Structure 1
């Protein structure tokens, strides 16, 4: 017993099967167009720290109550 590919080759030869021509997919046609490039957003160090939440208060549980750290 051979692999599936070998079996298909034998079947195609035995049945004189002609494979249909491949059609171009819509995605491939669309991929040829260049997409507009968005300008890169430059953030300051202060903006980055704000996004990461560095300056926000943190809370910790001590002796059963929440305390600001």
Structure 2
């Protein structure tokens, strides 16, 4: 996937509703890969990304994820 992506440092000042779906998907995948090493703040932020993807009708691919 190629697009003009913004990194998490830039995006932390942008509301999730203003992220591109590609950014949500990319950072969801990255955080999923890093999940064993995320602290509580990282896990919370990841859940917010998942919720935003779902709000837009997207598929997070997390079949075992429970709300």
Q: Give TM-score, length-normalised by structure 2.
A: 0.21
- Which protein shows a greater Rg? 1
In proportion to residue count, which structure has more strand?
A: 1
Higher RCO (Cα < 8 Å, 6 or more apart): 2
Q: Give TM-score, length-normalised by structure 1.
A: 0.20
